[in-house]
């Protein structure tokens, strides 16, 4: 996993020598302070002990050999050659020489009588009446490769799918059951016309090695004993019982490449698993071995490497050891490849000698010329496999220098790269990718990407949501991945859906999580398609897989249905998405218009103040704007005429939607530019209470993008300790303002008082949740006492002054907390303080992963909840009882809270989510079983946030083409009340 993140070590971990530490993957004993001297000494002692052991062992072996030889002198000539080497072993070594030369291409698919994972007696399955995406162009059309790439011959067709022996046997318009003669029971599944695809493939996951909820004892992501560890294997740490493996599958993901983390330049071997675990899910046993995707093609091997920020940050120690820079990393790589190359040479030389001797031998002892066995060093075996073309390379590289240097190594040492991962800048350098060694033969590396997760570290700062489209246009292959648990792999398909939203063709977006990763994994003849002879890995969806909120209703792995009693969401039947040609172009830079703008073709008004205009409308409406304010909604003849005579900017829409602008709550917008770069950060406040307004920084990438995506307002609180922790007062400001001196830029200087009761609170003077709750109660109770003469009383911005407003009910209290138990404690504190003050505290829970467990109590106490993330996936211990949704759970937190009558919002636990607020509301809307109207869903990211903070209604609005709740929407106009309109013409 990427070790990027803005996060910090959990409080229980030893302090390290950096002020910002990766949230994922690097915790544990990363004691950069003193560890290395100690390691050096220990290493010397270990080496000495090893040498002594080796000498003793050698003595014993020689003695046994000698004794054996004395006892059986007649056989001696055939046990050893002239150099006292075992002939049996030399013969085995000679056989190994052949294996060293074999280069696997891809796992054979067609022609298999049964899937190697088929367990005798498992039923055959007939899936009837599905709308199928086969993943392959119709062969009868004899299309050219260019036509196929353009998507010709690919589409949805109505078909039945017959599965037997773990393989797809038939895919036909209609299969007559009487034509089938399965050797075991036949199960029939009626898809009711719903969409069926191959199981989703996630080519970058740490499921199993970084089990959730994260616990130090379960973290086996990075082997941090050395920067170069090609010899370790992710499979040695995969926990089959990691619940996340099941959660991921509930998103239709059937196959994942489980990679070691990216802490090391060379991290170790990776393994492809399927998400069927144990006998109940169709395996013959419960084991790691039984997770492996292709037990009959274990010659396919994979390795993880990583360039860039991580290795230098993890290992570099000035004056002691590198790498401390990318320069040092390049040396680490080249030095490792040099040793592997020498090892390969030694083996090849031995094999050449042995093979020559064996073939020319005329009856004598062919092995007499061999003085040694075939050189074998486990340490370099995997890397040698890379140089032999046997091990598929997957490398984490973000930036141009990283990519270009790595492509340089491939040409210096002659190996190919299957994919660059976290490849945010590949879209800028297609020529460099095409220079990768072997690109002509094996294809250029794919780019494994997130759709819009960026800005979390310096190397992710230059990135584009249009990267997938741009790569595609250059003939390159984008693949969308989760880096689970960085993103919840359950929703890796959502990454592909967003790639479609950002211009990647629909068929290429589907390919990016099916056929493309299958091909890159060497499994392209087995998985990723619905085709006879392929593994029966299948998902049936409740809506188009690239639509917002798409969830499987059933998933099969190797022919076995995976969910006994899958929860099916109440959703209206829908037909597949018709690819929207309007998405194919990248929007031009927006223009700022202070004059008149007219939008025609507006079909929906979801802005309260203008709803009545819609009541009588029979045709699409017009929205006219002047000086950034809406001046007409309706027919607006005069405005249209003005626009037609070029007196106003005209934007013609087809399915225009007018909505409130979005409000970002809980993020660090305005307080940070690059999550992991403290220079760009307002700083973690530790225990120091401060006001966000005193640190607000305007301009910059995050705020510019926020404004463009209709997030006109942000309410941000100072960071307490690490990502998504808060202490101090939040400020509400306009994301599009130039600085805080601009009129209206800061619409509320102190929106709420924030505290944190998540795990991060366990630190310093509050080492436990109990002490943190106690400290907060004590502060609140103190604030209820009559105002006393004290030092800070003259400072109306002091913590105690703000707390007096909180207990008087004049200022909201927002507590960042996930655990249901901590929330329960907080509710008790609230009651107690209210008794003391005789007024009500306006409390909001921020985070709230487990808030659904106390939904009724929250509703009764009139406490609102801002979910961040919208759908937690139990990343941390305090979130472990989160609901991950259908088909595993009946609804998620938002459904339970809404049903209980709690006012709910959706917040941002990381800033990059700013592009997705409308889509997150869309998930709540589409998967809410009708409990939320479109307006109510949009309120989750706009008016609900405003009302729970007691903010005035503002005049911000957004004009979208399409519904912001749907995947094909684009922002066309943003008005934030500062007199101008941002227009995408």
Number of neighbouring beta carbons within 10 Å of residue 687:
12
Question: Pairing mode, if any, of strands 301-306 and 266-274?
Answer: antiparallel
Query: Between 96 and 129, whose beta carbon lies closer to ligand NAG?
Result: 129
Query: Between 90 and 817, whose beta carbon lies closer to ligand NAG?
Result: 90
Specify the stretch interacting with ligand NAG by CB under 6 A; choose among 11-19, 74-82, 756-764, 965-973. Answer: 74-82
Question: Which residue matches tokens 């509710």?
Answer: 827
For residue 42, state whether it binds ligand NAG (rule: CB under 6 A): no
Give the rounded distance of the alpha carbon of 879 from its chain centre: 18
How far is it, in rounded angstroms, from Cα 861 to Cα 478?
49
| Contact call for residues 299 and 104 (beta carbons, < 8 A) | yes
Minimum Å distance from CB 88 to ligand NAG?
Answer: 11
Extract the runs of DSSP E, i.e. beta strands, from 47-166: 124-133, 156-164
DSSP state, residue 729: E
Minimum Å distance from CB 192 to ligand NAG?
Answer: 4
| Contact call for residues 683 and 961 (beta carbons, < 8 A) | no
Minimum Å distance from CB 532 to ligand NAG?
Answer: 21
Query: Between 156 and 331, whose beta carbon lies closer to ligand NAG?
Result: 156
For residue 157, state whether it binds ligand NAG (rule: CB under 6 A): no
How far is it, in rounded angstroms, from Cα 227 to Cα 229?
6
Number of neighbouring beta carbons within 10 Å of residue 497:
29
Helices (H), 361-477: 378-387, 400-413, 430-434, 439-442, 467-473
Query: Between 121 and 572, whose beta carbon lies closer to ligand NAG?
Result: 572
Which residues, numbered 372-391, are part of the site for ligand NAG (CB under 6 A)? none
Query: Between 362 and 765, whose beta carbon lies closer to ligand NAG?
Result: 362
Minimum Å distance from CB 130 to ligand NAG?
Answer: 9
Which residues, numbered 516-545, are part of the site for ligand NAG (CB under 6 A)? none
How far is it, in rounded angstroms, from Cα 520 to Cα 386?
15
For residue 739, state whether it binds ligand NAG (rule: CB under 6 A): no
Minimum Å distance from CB 930 to ligand NAG?
Answer: 19
Query: Between 191 and 746, whose beta carbon lies closer to ligand NAG?
Result: 191
Query: Between 575 and 933, whose beta carbon lies closer to ligand NAG?
Result: 575
Q: How big is the site for ligand NAG, counted in residues (CB under 6 A)?
A: 6
Query: Between 55 and 84, whose beta carbon lies closer to ligand NAG?
Result: 84
Which residues, numbered 113-142, are part of the site for ligand NAG (CB under 6 A)? 129
Specify the stretch interacting with ligand NAG by CB under 6 A; choose among 75-83, 747-755, 855-863, 973-981. Answer: 75-83
For residue 77, state whether it binds ligand NAG (rule: CB under 6 A): yes
How far is it, in rounded angstroms, from Cα 679 to Cα 549?
37
Number of neighbouring beta carbons within 10 Å of residue 509:
30
Query: Between 367 and 649, whose beta carbon lies closer to ligand NAG?
Result: 367
By CB under 6 A, name the one of 15, 44, 78, 739 that touches ligand NAG: 78
Query: Between 172 and 810, whose beta carbon lies closer to ligand NAG?
Result: 172
For residue 192, state whether it binds ligand NAG (rule: CB under 6 A): yes
Q: What are 844's two structure tokens?
A: 């909001």
| Contact call for residues 964 and 659 (beta carbons, < 8 A) | yes
Minimum Å distance from CB 531 to ligand NAG?
Answer: 22
How far is it, in rounded angstroms, from Cα 502 to Cα 509?
10
Specify the stretch interacting with ligand NAG by CB under 6 A; choose among 73-81, 298-306, 866-874, 969-977. Answer: 73-81
Query: Between 31 and 365, whose beta carbon lies closer to ligand NAG?
Result: 365
Q: How far is CA 491 from CA 46, 205, 281, 378, 847, in A?
A: 46, 12, 21, 37, 19
Minimum Å distance from CB 164 to ligand NAG?
Answer: 22
Minimum Å distance from CB 190 to ligand NAG?
Answer: 7
Query: Between 117 and 194, whose beta carbon lies closer to ligand NAG?
Result: 194
Helix or strand or coil: residue 68?
A: helix
Minimum Å distance from CB 173 to ligand NAG?
Answer: 10
Minimum Å distance from CB 185 to ligand NAG?
Answer: 22
Percent helix, strand, coil in the chain, to 5, is 35, 20, 45
For residue 193, state whether it binds ligand NAG (rule: CB under 6 A): yes
For residue 790, state whether it binds ligand NAG (rule: CB under 6 A): no
Minimum Å distance from CB 191 to ligand NAG?
Answer: 8
Minimum Å distance from CB 170 to ligand NAG?
Answer: 16
* Residue closest to ligand NAG, measured at CB: 193
Minimum Å distance from CB 370 to ligand NAG?
Answer: 14
Minimum Å distance from CB 460 to ligand NAG?
Answer: 44
How far is it, in rounded angstroms, from Cα 45 to Cα 35?
15
Q: First CA to last CA across the chain, in angstroms?
A: 39
Question: Pairing mode, if any, of strands 843-847 and 813-817?
Answer: parallel
DSSP assignment of 90-123 equals HHHHHHHHHHHH----S---TT-SS-TT--TTPP
How far is it, in rounded angstroms, from Cα 567 to Cα 550?
13
Minimum Å distance from CB 909 to ligand NAG?
Answer: 39
Specify the stretch interacting with ligand NAG by CB under 6 A; choose among 72-80, 108-116, 175-183, 882-890. Answer: 72-80
Minimum Å distance from CB 76 to ligand NAG?
Answer: 9
Query: Between 193 and 595, whose beta carbon lies closer to ligand NAG?
Result: 193
Query: Between 40 and 193, whose beta carbon lies closer to ligand NAG?
Result: 193
Q: What are 443's two structure tokens?
A: 């294809």
Specify the stretch interacting with ligand NAG by CB under 6 A; choose among 12-20, 70-78, 418-426, 466-474. Answer: 70-78
Question: Which residue matches tokens 């889509």?
Answer: 919
DSSP assignment of 179-199 equals G---SS-EEEEE-TT-EEEEP
Which residues, numbered 617-636, are part of the site for ligand NAG (CB under 6 A)? none
Nearest residue to 819 (alpha-carbon basis) of 837, 786, 845: 845
DSSP assignment of 789-847 equals --GGGG-TTSHHHHHHHHHTTSS-EEEEE--HHHHHHHHHHHHHHHHHHSS---EEEEE
Query: Between 91 and 404, whose beta carbon lies closer to ligand NAG?
Result: 91
Query: Between 75 and 584, whose beta carbon lies closer to ligand NAG?
Result: 75
Query: Between 78 and 778, whose beta carbon lies closer to ligand NAG?
Result: 78
Per-residue binding string, ligand NAG, 284-313, x by CB under 6 A, is ------------------------------
| Contact call for residues 757 and 816 (beta carbons, < 8 A) | yes
Minimum Å distance from CB 64 to ligand NAG?
Answer: 21
Query: Between 77 and 831, whose beta carbon lies closer to ligand NAG?
Result: 77
Task: Encode burial over 789-822: b for 16+ CB neighbours within 10 A, e otherwise.
Answer: eeeeeeeeeebbebbbbbbeeebbbbbbbbbbeb
Minimum Å distance from CB 187 to ligand NAG?
Answer: 17
| Contact call for residues 499 and 468 (beta carbons, < 8 A) | yes
How far is it, in rounded angstroms, from Cα 240 to Cα 621?
56
| Contact call for residues 642 and 591 (beta carbons, < 8 A) | no
Specify the stretch interacting with ligand NAG by CB under 6 A; choose among 71-79, 98-106, 310-318, 552-560. Answer: 71-79
Sites of contact with ligand NAG (CB under 6 A): 75, 77-78, 129, 192-193
């Amino acid at each position: 996993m990427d070790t990027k993140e803005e996060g910090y070590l959990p409080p229980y971990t030893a302090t390290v020598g950096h002020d910002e530490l990766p949230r994922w993957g690097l915790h544990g004993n990363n004691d950069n302070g003193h560890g290395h001297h100690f390691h050096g000494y220990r290493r010397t002692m270990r080496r000495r002990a090893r040498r002594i052991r080796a000498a003793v062992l050698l003595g014993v072996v020689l003695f046994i050999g000698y004794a054996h030889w004395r006892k059986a002198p007649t056989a001696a000539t055939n046990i050893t050659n002239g150099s006292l080497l075992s002939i049996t072993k030399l013969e085995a070594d000679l056989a190994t020489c052949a294996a060293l030369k074999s280069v696997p291409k891809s796992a054979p698919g067609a022609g298999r009588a049964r899937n190697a994972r088929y367990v005798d007696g498992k039923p055959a399955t007939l899936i009837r009446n599905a709308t199928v995406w086969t993943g392959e162009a119709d062969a009868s059309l004899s299309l050219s490769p260019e036509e196929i790439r353009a998507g010709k011959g690919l589409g949805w067709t109505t078909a039945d799918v017959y599965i037997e022996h773990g393989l797809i046997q038939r895919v036909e318009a209609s299969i007559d059951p009487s034509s089938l003669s399965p050797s075991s029971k036949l199960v029939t599944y009626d898809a009711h016309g719903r969409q069926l695809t191959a199981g989703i493939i996630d080519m970058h996951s740490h499921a199993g090695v970084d089990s959730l909820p994260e616990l130090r004892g379960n973290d086996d992501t990075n082997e941090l004993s050395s920067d170069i560890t090609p010899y370790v294997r992710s499979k040695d740490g995969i926990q089959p019982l990691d619940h996340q493996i099941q959660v991921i599958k509930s998103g239709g993901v059937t196959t994942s490449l489980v990679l070691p983390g990216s802490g090391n330049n060379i991290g170790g071997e990776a393994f492809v698993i399927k998400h069927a675990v144990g006998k109940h899910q169709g395996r013959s046993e419960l084991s790691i071995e039984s997770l492996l995707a292709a037990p009959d093609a274990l010659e396919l091997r994979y390795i993880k490497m990583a360039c860039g920020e991580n290795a230098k940050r993890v290992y570099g120690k000035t004056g002691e050891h590198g790498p401390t820079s990318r320069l040092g990393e390049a040396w680490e790589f080249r030095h490792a490849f040099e040793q592997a190359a020498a090892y390969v040479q030694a083996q090849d030389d031995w094999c050449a000698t042995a093979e020559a001797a064996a073939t020319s031998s005329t009856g004598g002892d062919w092995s007499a010329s061999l003085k040694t066995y075939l050189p074998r060093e486990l340490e370099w075996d995997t890397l040698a496999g890379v140089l032999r073309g046997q091990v598929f390379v997957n490398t984490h590289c973000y930036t141009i220098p990283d990519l270009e240097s790595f492509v340089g190594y491939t040409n210096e040492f002659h190996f190919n790269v299957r994919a660059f991962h976290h490849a945010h800048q590949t879209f800028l350098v297609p020529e460099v990718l095409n220079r990768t060694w072997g690109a002509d033969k094996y294809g250029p590396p794919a780019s494994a990407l997130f759709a819009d997760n960026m800005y979390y570290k310096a190397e992710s700062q230059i990135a584009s949501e249009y990267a997938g489209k741009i790569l595609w246009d250059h003939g390159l292959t984008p693949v969308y991945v989760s880096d689970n648990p960085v993103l919840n792999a359950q929703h890796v398909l959502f990454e592909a859906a967003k790639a479609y939203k950002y211009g990647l063709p629909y068929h290429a977006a589907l390919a990016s999580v099916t056929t493309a990763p299958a091909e890159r994994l060497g499994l392209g003849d087995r998985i990723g398609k619905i085709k006879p002879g392929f593994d029966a890995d299948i998902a049936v969806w409740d809506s188009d897989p690239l639509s917002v909120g798409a969830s499987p209703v059933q998933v099969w792995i190797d022919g076995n249905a995976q969910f006994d009693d899958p929860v099916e969401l109440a959703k209206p039947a829908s037909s597949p998405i018709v690819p929207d040609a309007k998405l194919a172009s990248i929007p031009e830079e927006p223009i700022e218009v202070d004059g008149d703008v007219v939008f025609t073709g507006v079909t929906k008004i979801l802005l309260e103040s203008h709803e009545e205009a819609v009541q009588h409308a029979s045709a699409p409406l017009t929205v006219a704007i002047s000086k950034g304010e809406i001046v007409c909604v309706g027919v607006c003849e005069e405005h249209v005429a003005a626009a037609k005579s070029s007196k106003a900017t005209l934007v013609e829409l087809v399915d225009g939607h007018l909505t409130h602008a979005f409000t970002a709550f809980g993020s660090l917008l305005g307080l940070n530019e690059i999550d992991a770069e403290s220079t760009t950060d307002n700083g973690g406040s530790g225990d120091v209470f401060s006001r966000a307004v005193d640190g607000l920084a305007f301009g910059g990438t995050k705020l510019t993008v926020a404004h463009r995506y209709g997030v006109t307002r942000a309410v941000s609180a100072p960071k307490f300790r690490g990502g998504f922790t808060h202490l101090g007062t939040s400020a509400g400001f306009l994301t599009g303002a130039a600085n805080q001196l601009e009129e209206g830029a800061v619409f509320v200087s102190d929106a709420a008082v924030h505290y944190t009761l998540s795990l991060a609170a366990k630190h310093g003077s509050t080492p436990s949740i109990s002490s943190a709750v106690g400290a907060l109660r004590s502060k609140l109770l103190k604030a209820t006492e009559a105002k006393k003469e004290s030092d800070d009383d003259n400072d109306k911005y002091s913590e105690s002054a703000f707390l007096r407003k909180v207990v008087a009910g004049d200022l909201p209290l927002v507590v960042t907390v996930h655990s249901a138990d901590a929330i329960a404690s907080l509710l008790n504190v609230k009651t107690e303080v209210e008794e003391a003050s005789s007024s009500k505290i306006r409390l909001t829970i921020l985070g709230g992963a487990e808030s659904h467990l106390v939904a009724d109590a929250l509703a009764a106490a009139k406490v609102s909840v801002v979910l961040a993330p919208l759908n937690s996936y139990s990343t941390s211990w305090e979130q472990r009882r989160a609901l991950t949704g259908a088909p595993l759970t009946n609804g998620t937190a938002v459904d339970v809270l809404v049903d209980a009558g709690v006012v709910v919002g959706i917040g941002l636990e990381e800033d990059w989510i700013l592009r997705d607020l409308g889509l997150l509301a869309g998930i709540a809307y589409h998967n809410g079983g009708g409990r939320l109207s479109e307006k109510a869903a949009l309120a989750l990211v706009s008016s609900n946030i405003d009302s729970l903070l007691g903010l005035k209604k503002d005049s911000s609005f957004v004009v979208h083409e399409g519904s912001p709740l749907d995947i094909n929407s684009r922002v066309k106009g943003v008005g934030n009340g500062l007199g101008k309109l941002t227009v995408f013409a």
